[in-house]
Structure 1
Amino acid sequence: MTACDRPPCDGTVTATGYCDTCGRRPAASTAGATPPSPSPPTSDRTADVPSRASAVLSTAGGGEMSLPDVSVLDPSELVDDNPRPPKDGRRCGKDGCDETIGVGFGGQPARPSGYCPRGHPYSFEPRLHRGDLLGGQYRVEGPVAHGGLGWIYLARDTQLDDRPVALKGLINANDPTALSVAEAERRYLTALDHPDIVRIINVVTWRDTGYLVMEFVGGRSLRELVTRRGQERVLGGPLRLEHVAAYGCRILDALDYLHSRGLLYCDMKPDNVIHHGDRIKIIDLGGVRRIDDHVSNIVRTRPYLPDEELYHDSEPAEEHGERRPRVTKLSDLYTVAVTLSELVEAAVPGPPVAQDSFRRLLDRATAVETGARFATAAEMSTQLRGVWREIHSLSTGVPHIARSTVFSPGADPLDAGLGAVPPPDHEASEPDLAPPAPEHVALRLPVPIPHPDAPAAARELLTCATSLALGDLDAAEEGLLRACRLLGPAIARHDWRIAWHRGLLLLARGDVQDDGAIQRLLGISPGARPRARDWFEAVCDALPGEPAPKLALGYCAERAGEPEVAARRYEAVWLRDPSDGAATFGLARARLAADDRAGALAVLDQVPPHAPHHRAARLAAVRVRAGWRGERPPTAEEFRHAQELAGQLTLDGGRTEGQERARLAAEIRASALRALGVGALAPDELAPGPLFGDPPGERRLRKLLEASLREIAEGARTREEHAALIDRANRVRPWTRF
């Protein structure tokens, strides 16, 4: 036995060829292995892309996507001393027979053996019994469960400290489908090596029947989690939405591994995923088939892979003209989505925005048009990972920052002036809380990374973006049309980059709909998506785990006068990444619009020092504290904090005096003078200091404000601006007798 060479594992490689700690083969022994060659992709939509799933879930326990630790039962306790036919029977399968076998009639229990209604013999009786020794090594203890095609037996490896192993044989030796599947398992599956897929250790023969020897997984199937009682039994508490997302990412990681080796799983369902310890294991590999195999019978379970999916894009058989079933990578992703849907229904509801994101992800994976679905397991996993971050951040308040794989970050915080020094002609005692202009937002939202599979269309989208930046909206529209034609309507209709640029164009036009040429080209009714908001919704449908479309939707809701809706969208982005400037200022404006000054300040105060907009957030916090909200003045405490924070700001390049400091001081002093004028504050309630004087008072405050305005007037850009500032200074100066 040798030491495992997979860092950071410190286990030992046993006689089985696998590590006794991490459960994997040594890296050196698998480096030169040649997996089955994957079949060529049938279209650009299903082409393989480099897998990101393995990097996403590189750790099993611990880490940001850790699962609850599920206790593992003593394997001997799972042995069934009275094995019976599988519940609800099985399909016969003999010579294509669809009759059901193994069910009782007239209230009688099902017979373990007999004949189907068409006369085909069947038997569900276990063929192994306690004490049988297979391969001179594996001693049987008894059956523990039955899968779709075979009994699972518990055995002990007598050559390895009686370690428990699982033996899988045929559930019905007369079933040709089962026979072919067993052969496929022996041929392909012994080479698989993935931590979330059950490991095939050996193949042994007993009385002319082959049995797979697998690692024994003694956990609980996800099927148990569809009831609250099962959740308590397995998890010790309720199933949460973030658990479901973690399950999904691990399942997709395993399927991405299979797909990269030219294999499909086909039969994903909650029963076939075991939660053991803090890991999962996909079991029952009986349905695995090559991607290019369009002949073998398909192992499936309704409704995880519906009939209409089986025959989608199938071709007539040569002999009789009947349609031949075909499954693809998209079919596997469909089964994952249906599996997760069951668990989502059983889970405790998550935060509304995150629940909506999860629903969008499942809807895309099961869309009627296959062109709208995720093309790869890695793509779906990336979005589900983003949904998990959203769930966890909204539930716990813990940030989960990650760089987007499809958007470049936006450089503009879209603060609409809230985080800037007031302009020289600003006379109000409150900052302007209007959202930024739509034409400005259209140029400052995050930029999509160019389309990797369609360089010609990517160039046209770049032309669209460049023309948009130059203000030539007609040229931008033409570039977008050319990109749609290059992709073709079937692809462009579901391409999120097309929808994103369309939304930006409508924003730049002020949401004024044009002649609808793009909608007609895409086969979308001209009135179906009249506003930018509708196109950004389509992007969110396609990329439910991405922050960028939520920023766009938050802005659209803010602009439509829906501060609560805007706040939910902005908050989902801000909690994941407090350094996101657009989310920070958008959420602050939305909370202020809902008359939640404390909530807005909490957002601004939590911007981390390393964020590029930290200074702007500090400046905005000063202005919000010292600003009026309608007829509501700041409190004396808020004025005190504003004075302290203003003194800490770096303004005018670090100088103690200058135009920026004078303009900010003028706004704060005007607000305080207004509060004194209406009796909202007494002079002695203002904290002494450079902004309010020492001691503070109305006369002293008027002199200070006059001085600020005259200093600002010295830097006036025009004669008219200078005159207006001097007039204002004269109006606020304290009265004298002479």
Structure 2
Amino acid sequence: MTDCGQPGCGGRIEDGFCTVCGIAPPAGGSGATPARAASSLSVSVSSRSTRTGSTRSSRSSRSSRRGRLGAGLVEVPPVPYRDPATAVMANPEVVERKRYCSSCNEPVGRGKDGQPGRTEGFCRKCGTGFSFSPKLVAGDLVAGQYEVLGCLAHGGLGWIYLARDHNVNDRWVVLKGLLDTGDDDAMAAAIAERQFLAQVEHPNIVRIYNFVQHPDPRTGGQVDYIVMEYVGGQSLKELRAAEGPDGKLAPLPLGQAIAYALEVLPALGYLHSLDLLYCDFKPDNVIQSEEQLKLIDLGAVRRIDDEDSASYKTDGYCAPELEDDGPSVGSDLYTVARTLAVLTFNFDYTGVHRASLPDAADEPVLARNPSFHQLLRRATDRDPNRRFGSAQEMVEQLTGVLREVLAAEDGQPRPGLSPLFSQERRVFGADTGDWPAAPRPGEVAAALPVHQVDTDDPAAGFLATSAAGRPAEVIAALTASGLSTVEVSLRLARAQIENGDQEGAAASLRALSAEDPDDWRVSWYLGFDALACGDAGRARAAFGTVYQLLPGEAAPKLALAATEECAGNLADAARHYEVVWRTDHAHVSAAFGLARVRLGRRDLAGAVAALESVPASSSHYVAARVAAVLARVRDRTAGELTVADLSSAGQQLAELDLDAAQREWVTVDVLTAAQSWVQANQSAPPPQERVLGCALTDRAVRRGLERACRALARLSDSRAERIRLIDLANSVRPVTLV
């Protein structure tokens, strides 16, 4: 054995992998060579699974939809199919450090005084028999149909064999037997597995062909074998241990790891829909072959209401409540999140962080991707009831996180419709009349997305047809309907907030919270109420709760950004606005918000870039370009203004298709800034550039301002406004002799 070379890891290299971090040593380094084909088959072989007692199970899950690898968002490198003929082990044996009693978990079969340990015998502590010798050898014909070629690996419940099916075109198959035929729990697990697997048919779950028996050469008793599909490729554990471009072992790219999780979660959701729990998910148990992913080793699968059978777990991946409460949908999803963490960064997941995650400050991938960090935190919450309630719910949020991750990597938006929120009801902060003033909190609350109505709610149809209009009208309609459902109460609370009835809204939301304290929709509208009251601290807390629960959604980040802007926390506002806008250009409020806070932080170039990134297809394209013009000239001191700013503003304004009045008003802004620059630089010779046709001299700029003011006076319908504009024109006109 040698020390693991991973930074901060105190493990030892045994059997080709570290005993702590589970990572293989670099190529050419010290340490034993891993057994061949350890994961090119339908079984878990590397991390030892241990059994736990069980007392109860938890809630079930609705079925999940299956999508393309990575939701069609990320390209995952294919893994070549592995020829099964090259996978047979030359010397099949279970290394001594992996030999444990199946009954009491005491080490067995260990060597002493330089002598190797026995592969068969009895546990000294409890007397249970053990056998780690293969029960099948090359040439054995099982059930008169399956010719054994040899051992592939040793998994959690026994040896795995490669065979040919002579009845079906000599196709390759895998035979999986028991760890020990004398172990009652193992036998029961195998029998249960047979019953469960007869129901399972999913493209991302290994196929089961048959169940057969063959005599044990030691005892003559019949041993049960499961005949499974051969899956040739590499496990996620092997892929995680591959070398990076620099020749060092590196975590998988975050997008690729998320793609794997998105592909396998629907398989778990499918099992949950059959009231089955997988129980022992980990990188060893997922194989990629070419462009397909397969969930393998169903030996730990159990029924969701099974309170008696022994369950299997792997330290570092299993949920902390397994010992006392048994497995559940929440504990299955916990293992997926732990697997994601292990695949994407290095940490002591079997030691210091056996039931926790590193802080973002200590792990760069978490610091760079806060939404991914939030997703892991929710999925691994110590309270199972605060985790995701189903595989589909986790898929929805993880897909949103993936869009965000990929957009951050290459700067290209990854838009997607939310299953939980509407689009923005209106764009806030886009009024160029008072640009770049921050929007009012009430304006933000009236513009933010609202939750999608649950179509299973009895009042969903009524709300779709009768709950629109002014807030007072909506309140009257809901009250008169006599309906009392969750969706009606939520719609009533929103209408009360919009109508200024904070006391009534608070009462409605308190009642909803008493029924379901964990309903994120209540927190969402508590944030609306706080914003409408101008209470940024309370709004931040409410929207922050929604973000923690729904890290893949844009709406909570947009709400947090606006709240921080209203509170004057420009750095935090910029961070949230940037994530929302970079990921999805449908949230135009984020572009205007990002530009405003960048201007507030004296980042003119960044503000203009945000506004000019609003696509031409947007109905707010012109408003964004006008705002970009104003950003260059409005609220800037003469010392800050440059000729390039003035020239760019004039050129961009000339290219815009504006109505006459708006064009002249913006012209006044641009030329007023030009006048300030001229007055501050009177001693210098005028530059060659012209702004809106005016030379940068006091006389020329004044002439331009006068023309714009008189044009506005002619366009005005108000006598008082015409007089004001004419007076302004007279005040700026250059002095003449006539």
Q: Report if the CA contact (8 A) 1:220-1:275 is conserved.
A: yes
Map of 1:502 onto structure 2: 526
User: Does structure 2 conserve the Cα–Cα contact (< 8 Å) formed by 1:714 and 1:722?
Assistant: yes
Percent of aligned pairs with the same residue?
40
Secondary structure, aligned partner of 1:736: coil
The Cα of 1:47 is off from its aligned counterpart by: 5.5
In structure 2, relative to structure 1, the CA distance for the partners of 1:115 and 1:505 (3 Å cut) is same
Aligned to 1:152: 160
Partner-residue secondary structure (3-state), 1:213: strand
Which of 183, 197, 216 pairs up with 2:191?
183
For residue 81 of structure 1, what is the aligned residue in structure 2?
Answer: 90
SS of alignment partner, residue 196 of structure 2:
helix
Residues 176-234 of structure 1: CA deviation (Å, up to 9, x unaligned): 2221122122222144222221111222332222222212122222223555x566799
One-letter amino acid matched to 1:692:
G
Change (3 A) 1:617 1:307: closer
Note if 1:647 corresponds to 2:654.
yes
User: Aligned in 2, Cα 1:233/1:85: closer, same or farther, shift over 3 Å?
Assistant: farther
Cα deviation per residue 1:503-553 (whole Å; 9 max; x = unaligned)? 1211111117xxxxxxxxxxxxxxxxx531122111111000111111122
Equivalent position amino acid for 1:85 in 2:
V
User: How far 1:87 sits from its partner (Å)?
Assistant: 6.1
The reply to whether residue 346 of structure 1 matches residue 335 of structure 2 is no
Q: By how many angstroms is 1:388 displaced?
A: 0.8
Partner of residue 679, structure 2 = 677
Contact 1:686 1:692 in 2 (8 A): no
Partner of 1:385: 399
SS in 2 for 1:151: strand
Would you say the 8 A contact 2:595–2:611 is kept in 1?
A: yes
| Structure 1 position 704, deviation (Å) | 2.1
Residue 376 of structure 1 deviates from its aligned partner by 0.4
Query: 8 Å contact 2:60–2:272 — kept in the other structure?
Result: no
Aligned partner of 1:169 in structure 2 is: 177
| C-alpha distance 648-562 of structure 1, shift in aligned 2 (>3 A) | same
Match of 1:292 in 2: 305
| Contact 1:443–1:468 (CA under 8 A) maintained in structure 2 | no
**Matched-pair contact (CA < 8 Å) for 1:267–1:299:** yes
Residue by residue over 1:132-165, the C-alpha shift from the partner in whole angstroms, topping out at 9 and shown as x without a partner, is 2223333222111122112111223345554432
| Alignment CA distance shift 1:630-1:555 (3 Å) | farther
1:70 equivalent in alignment to 2:72? no
Matches within 5 A, 1:207-246: 207=215, 208-225=222-239, 227=241, 238-246=251-259
Distance in 1, Cα, partners of 2:532 & 2:393:
30
1:620-631 alignment runs, 5 A limit: 620-627=627-634, 629-631=636-638
Shift of 1:717: 7.7
Alignment of 1:2-17 (within 5 A): none
Pick one of 467, 473, 476 that aligns with 2:502.
Answer: 473
Corresponding residue of 1:701 = 701
Equivalent AA in structure 1 for residue 300 of structure 2: G
Whether the 8 Å contact between 2:251 and 2:343 is mirrored in structure 1 is no
Distance 1:632 1:225 in 2: 57
What is the CA distance between 1:173 and its match in structure 2? 1.2
Question: CA offset at residue 663 of structure 1?
Answer: 0.9
- Separation in 2 of the partners of 1:307 and 1:413? 45
Q: CA deviation at 1:575?
A: 1.5
In the alignment, is residue 250 of structure 1 matched against residue 263 of structure 2? yes
The farther-off stretch of 597-606 and 281-290 is 597-606
Change (3 A) 1:718 1:61: closer
CA distance in 1, matches of 2:688, 2:568: 36
What SS class does the counterpart of residue 627 from structure 2 fall into? helix
How far apart are the structure 1 equivalents of 2:113 and 2:526? 63
1:687-728 alpha-carbon deviations (Å, 9 max, x no partner): 36xx334x6643232122122223334566877655544443
State how far apart, in whole Å, the 2-side matches of 1:441 and 1:372 are. Answer: 29
Q: Residues 143 and 152 of structure 1 are in contact (CA less than 8 Å); yes or no, is this contact kept in structure 2?
A: yes
Residues matched between the structures, number: 635
Q: 1:382 to 1:75 in 2, by over 3 A?
A: same
Q: Residue 319 of structure 2 contacts residue 334 of structure 2 at CA under 8 Å; is this kept in 1?
A: no
Distance, in Å, in 1 between the alignment partners of 2:109 and 2:263 is 34
**RMSD (Å), alpha carbons:** 3.0
Q: Deviations over 1:560-617 (max 9, x none)?
A: 4333332221121112112321111112222222322222222222222222322221
**What is the match of residue 435 of structure 1?**
438
Contact 2:415 2:586 in 1 (8 A): no
Amino acid at match of 2:679: G
Q: Residue 17 of structure 2 aligns with which residue?
A: none
Q: Is residue 196 of structure 1 aligned with residue 197 of structure 2?
A: no
Aligned equivalent of 1:8: none
Q: Distance in 1 between matches of 2:629 and 2:193?
A: 68
Equivalent residue, structure 1, for 2:317: 304
The structure-2 alpha-carbon separation of the partners of 1:269 and 1:595, relative to structure 1 and needing over 3 Å to count, comes to same
* Pair 121,238 (structure 1): closer, same or farther in 2 beyond 3 Å: closer
Change (3 A) 1:444 1:677: same
Distance 1:299 1:442, change over 3 A: same
> Gaps (5+ residues) in structure 2?
1-55, 216-221, 348-361, 459-484
User: Is residue 102–residue 130 contact of structure 2 (8 Å, CA) maintained in 1?
Assistant: no
Give me the whole-angstrom Cα distance separating, in 1, the residues matched to 2:513 and 2:669: 50
Whose RCO is larger (CA < 8 A, sep 6+)? 2
2:99–2:108 CA contact under 8 A, matched in 1: yes
| CA–CA separation in structure 2 for the residues paired with 1:729 and 1:663 | 13
Alignment of 1:381-530 (within 5 A): 381-417=395-431, 420=432, 422=433, 432-451=435-454, 456-485=485-514, 487=515, 491-492=516-517, 494-511=518-535, 530=537
Give the residue type in structure 1 aligned to 2:92.
Answer: P
Q: How far did residue 122 of structure 1 move?
A: 1.1
The CA deviation string for residues 105-148 of structure 1, in whole angstroms up to 9 with x for no partner, is 56754431111121111111111111222233332221111221
Any idea what SS the aligned residue of 1:249 has? helix
1:346/1:474 Cα in 2 relative to 1: closer, same or farther (>3 Å)? same
Report deviation, 1:264. 0.9
What residue in structure 2 maps to residue 543 of structure 1? Answer: 550
Deviation by residue 1:207-262 (Cα, 9 ceiling, x = unmatched)? 222222212122222223555x5667999975111122112112211101111122
Structure 1: unaligned runs, 5 residues or longer: 1-40, 313-325, 424-431, 513-529
Equivalent position SS for 1:639: helix
Query: CA–CA distance in 1 between the matches of 2:336 and 2:132?
Result: 29
**Aligned pair partner of 1:356 in 341, 355, 370:** 370
In the alignment, the residues of structure 2 paired with residue 473 and residue 713 of structure 1 have an alpha-carbon distance, to the nearest angstrom, of: 44
Q: Distance in 2 between matches of 1:139 and 1:156?
A: 5
Q: Which segment drifts farther, 180-189 or 250-259?
A: 180-189
Residue in structure 1 matching 2:572, options 565, 571, 584: 565
- Go from structure 1 to structure 2 and tell me whether the alpha carbon gap of 1:286 and 1:377 turns closer, same or farther (over 3 Å shift): same
Instruction: Give, in whole Å, the separation in 2 of the partners of 1:411 and 1:718.
Output: 33
Secondary structure of the residue aligned to 1:130 is: coil
CA deviations 1:449-487 (Å, max 9, x no partner) are 2356776222222111111111222222122122223x2
Partner Cα separation in structure 2 for residue 62 and residue 447 of structure 1: 25
- Structure 1 range deviating more: 268-277 or 631-640: 631-640
Separation of aligned partners in 2, 1:365 and 1:196: 22
User: Which residue is 1:121 aligned to?
Assistant: 129
- For 2:57 and 2:184, how far apart are their aligned partners in 1? 29
Question: Residue 624 of structure 1: CA displacement?
Answer: 2.2
Q: Is the 8 A contact 2:427 2:588 kept in 1?
A: yes
Once the two structures are TM-superposed, the CA of residue 104 in structure 1 deviates from its matched residue by 4.5
Residues 61, 246 of structure 1: alpha-carbon distance in 2 compared, 3 angstrom cutoff: closer
Q: Distance in 2 between matches of 1:371 and 1:466?
A: 30
